[in-house]
Amino acid sequence: MKVLLTAPYENDKALKELEGLFDEIVYRSWKPHGRAYNPSELDALIKETGAEALISEHDEITGEVLRANPDLQFVGICRGTPSNIDLAVATELGIPVFNTPARNAQAVAEMFIANVITLMRNTVPAINWLEGKNWGEGAHTSYLEFKGNELAGKKVGMVGFGAVGQHIARMLVNFPCEIYYFDPYYTDENSDFKKVELDELFSVCDVVGIHLPVTNETKGMIDMRYLSLMKQDAIFVNTARATVVNREDLLDIIENGKIRGAVLDVFYNEPPDEIDYKMILNKNVVATPHIAGATHEVEDHHAFIMNNNLREFFHNGNKSIKQLVNKAVLDKTTIG
């Protein structure tokens, strides 16, 4: 089988593993291209290379692309959620789709914790103060002005308890923190984590993290009904998807000081529009440009996870790949 590989596979060991699974790998990473392949470019590339299968990361795999290439034996998506492919059409055509759950869980968890601490410890204004040469003769000026809080001992709530939320929770119990989560599709037997309804989570937690994909169920789900329940010294964190939150409501509680602040890595518009920038530039917001999952190690993770998925599938004797109908990615196991 000839496989077109447009996802980054810069780990030599992972690439050699993949080459050992198939007859031929045609490696055309999107990175030298400068952006993901659009539908017409991807369709042309599949036809040019004579690929019988595709492993992608960000390319736009629309229904039109799939219908133009109905004989694809499988599509691999090197992402936690295969949101860049038309799953309904892939299923209709009997093209199995593999994804890479938890590929960026460690990266997002580390940044989640780092930026919450950055906000709680007033790190950014302290750096700006120091670089502004504001340190006068008073040796304790900065000590008094920028005294913050510790994350240890705080209640942290996860809205959506999938791979990322669980990873953060496991790291935070060692601070220690008390972990709450809301996820109607998941129950954890670990007594360290408390499953609660959204009203309770937003009411009691000192830090509220959003870990939801965009679905019909979740779009705009977090609005003033829940945001207004937050404590005035609480911190709101979104490293998942911006559109699961009503941004006008979020902007309202930030600008009016109804919460301590927010940590934001995702926005309604990327690049941001005027409303997004009102949040980004607020002094009580730590904002980053959608980089929570951007580490070199994430690419290694997705390569090895994809290889393992494909090896397991073939090892289990599924010679007729077309028989698989995307059950794993269509089943609801969590909303996080």
Residues 182, 85, single domain; the answer is: no
Q: Has residue 309 got a pLDDT over 50?
A: yes
Query: What pTM was estimated for this model as a whole?
Result: 0.86
Low-confidence winner among 164-173, 180-189, 219-228 (lowest mean pLDDT): 180-189
Q: Does residue 179 share a domain with residue 62?
A: no
pLDDT, tens only, 20-35: 999 999 999 999 988 9
Residue 194: both structure tokens together: 């408390």
- 215 & 141 share domain: yes
Segment 55-81, tens digit of pLDDT: 999 999 999 999 999 999 999 999 988
- Over residues 302-329, the mean pLDDT reads 68
- The per-residue pLDDT for 329 is 45
The CATH number covering residue 30 comes to 3.40.50.720
Strands across the sheet containing 261-264: 193-195, 178-182, 155-159, 207-210, 235-238, 261-264, 285-287
pLDDT by residue (tens digit) across 127-167?
999 999 998 876 688 988 999 999 999 999 999 999 999 99
Q: Does 17 lie in the same domain as 161?
A: no
Are both 179 and 311 inside the same structural domain? Answer: no
Q: 336 pLDDT exceeds 50? A: no
Q: According to the model, what pLDDT value does residue 189 have? A: 76
The confidence score (pLDDT) of residue 80 equals: 86
Which pLDDT does position 191 carry in this prediction? 76
Q: Which of 48, 150, 197, 270 is catalytic?
A: 270
Mark whether 138 and 253 lie in a shared domain. yes
92 is catalytic: no
Same domain, 233 and 325: no
The pLDDT of residue 320 is: 42
Q: How far apart are CA 172 and CA 152, in angstroms?
A: 8
Q: Is 270 a catalytic residue?
A: yes
Domain boundaries, position 66: 2-99+296-332
- Please check the confidence at residue 101 and state whether its pLDDT lies above 70: yes
Q: Are residues 174 and 191 in the same domain?
A: yes
The pLDDT of residue 321 is above 90: no
Model confidence at 170, in pLDDT bands (50, 70, 90)?
very high
Do 7 and 31 lie in one domain? The reply is yes
9-13, 139-143, 221-225: the lowest-pLDDT one: 139-143
Q: Is 167 known to be catalytic?
A: no
Active-site annotation holder among 58, 103, 167, 241: 241
Q: Which of 290, 296, 297, 315 is catalytic?
A: 290
**38 and 52, same domain (yes or no):** yes
Domain tally for the chain? 2
Please give the average per-residue pLDDT across 295-311, as a whole number: 95
- Residue 4, pLDDT score: 98
Q: What is the mean pLDDT of the chain?
A: 92
